C-alpha cells in the first residue's frame, strides 16, 4: 500500500485539552509491511486508543506484566474506555493489572500500529511512580494468560523482547505487540528517560 500514513495522534473523544496539547512527540509506528505483509485498503478500519505506563521503583527497575502461560510481556496498560480521558485510563489500567496506585503521571509520546487486517491503534505512553500496592482486577483472558507483575531494568526488558522475536512473529497480533514494546523500550533508552529526575525523583 502506497497511501501516505497519517501520523498525527488519534485521541479518544474525552481526552482533555491539556492531554491533547501534551502529546506532540511520536515514538514510532508499525504497519504490515514491517512484517513482510501487504497492507489492505479498508476505508472503515476500526480505531482504538490505548495507554501504556512505565513505572520505576527505587531500585531503578520497571514494572511489566508477563504471561506465565504464554511468555509475552508488556508494560501495564490497555484500551481507553468510553467516557474516560487518558489519565483516568492510566490509573484504572495500572490498578487493574498490577494493584498499584500511582502518582506523577507524565506524558512521553504516542505510538501507531496500522494493523490493516484488524484495526488502527494509537497508544499513549506515560511514566509514573508507584505509591501503594493493593488488589488486582484482572479480566478473564488475563487470568487465563496468568498475567503476573514483574520488575526488571529497561536493558533486561529489551533483551527479553528481542529473545521473543521468532516466537511472536508466528502471530499477527503478537508480532505487532512485541515490536511495539521493543521500539518503546529503545526510545526510553536512547532518550535516557529513566534518568529524568522529574519523572523518577526517587531514582
Cα separation, 80 vs 62, whole angstroms: 22
Task: Rounding to the nearest 10 degrees, give the CA dihedral for residues 141, 106, 27, 17.
Answer: 100
| Tens-place pLDDT, residues 17-47 | 999 999 999 999 999 999 999 998 877 889 9
Q: Does 99 fall in a domain?
A: yes
CA distance 28 to 180: 8
Residue 199, in any domain of the structure = no
Of the chain, the percentage scoring pLDDT greater than 90 comes to 80
Residues 94-116: b if buried by 16+ CB within 10 A, e if exposed: bbbbbbbebebbebbbbbbbbbb
41 closest CA partner among 50, 31, 49: 31
Can you give the length of the chain in residues? 203
Which structural domain range is residue 134 located in? 17-191
Q: Is residue 3 part of a domain?
A: no
Do 130 and 55 meet the contact criterion of CB atoms below 8 Å apart?
A: yes
What per-residue confidence (pLDDT) applies to 203? Answer: 57
Flag whether 61 is in a domain: yes
In a domain, 179, yes or no: yes
Contact between 11 and 85 under an 8 Å Cβ cutoff? The reply is no
Give the DSSP letter of residue 58. T
Q: What is the CATH number of the domain that holds 41?
A: 3.90.79.10
Whole-number average pLDDT of the chain: 93
Residue 180 pLDDT more than 70?
A: yes
Which of the four pLDDT bands, split at 50, 70 and 90, describes residue 1? very low
Helix/strand/coil for 2 = coil
Residue 4 clears pLDDT 50, i.e. is over it:
yes
Residue carrying the nine cell digits 498525527: 8
Is position 2 within any domain? Answer: no
128-153 pLDDT tens trace: 999 999 988 888 888 888 889 999 99
Pairing of strands 47-55, 119-133: parallel
pLDDT of residue 70: 86
Q: How far separated are the first and last CA of the chain, in Å rounded?
A: 45
Q: Is the pLDDT score of 54 beyond 90?
A: yes
pTM to 2 decimals? 0.94
- Please tell me the least confidently modeled range out of 22-31, 173-182, 194-203: 194-203
Indicate whether 200 belongs to any domain: no
C-alpha cell at 195: 534518568
**Cα 192 to Cα 59: distance, rounded to the nearest angstrom:** 16
For residue 115, tell me if it sits in a domain.
yes
Tally the domains of the chain: 1
Amino acid at each position: 500500500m502506497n497511501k501516505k500514513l497519517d501520523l498525527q495522534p488519534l485521541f479518544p473523544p474525552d481526552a482533555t485539552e491539556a492531554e491533547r496539547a501534551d502529546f506532540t512527540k511520536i515514538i514510532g509506528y508499525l504497519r504490515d509491511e514491517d512484517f513482510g505483509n501487504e497492507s489492505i485498503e479498508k476505508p472503515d478500519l476500526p480505531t482504538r486508543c490505548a495507554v501504556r505506563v512505565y513505572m520505576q521503583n527505587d531500585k531503578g527497575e520497571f514494572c511489566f506484566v508477563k504471561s506465565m502461560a504464554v511468555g509475552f510481556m508488556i508494560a501495564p496498560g490497555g484500551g481507553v474506555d468510553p467516557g474516560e480521558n487518558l489519565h483516568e485510563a492510566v490509573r484504572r489500567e495500572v490498578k487493574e493489572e498490577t494493584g498499584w496506585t500511582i502518582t506523577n503521571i507524565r506524558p512521553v509520546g504516542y505510538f501507531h500500529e496500522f494493523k490493516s487486517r484488524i484495526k488502527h491503534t494509537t497508544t499513549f505512553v506515560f511514566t509514573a511512580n508507584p505509591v501503594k500496592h493493593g488488589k488486582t482486577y484482572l479480566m478473564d483472558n488475563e487470568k487465563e494468560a496468568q498475567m503476573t507483575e514483574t520488575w526488571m531494568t529497561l536493558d533486561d526488558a529489551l533483551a527479553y523482547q528481542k529473545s521473543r522475536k521468532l516466537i511472536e512473529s508466528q502471530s499477527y497480533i503478537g508480532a505487532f505487540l512485541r515490536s511495539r514494546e521493543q521500539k518503546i523500550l529503545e526510545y526510553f533508552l536512547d532518550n535516557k528517560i529513566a534518568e529524568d529526575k522529574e519523572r523518577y525523583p526517587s531514582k
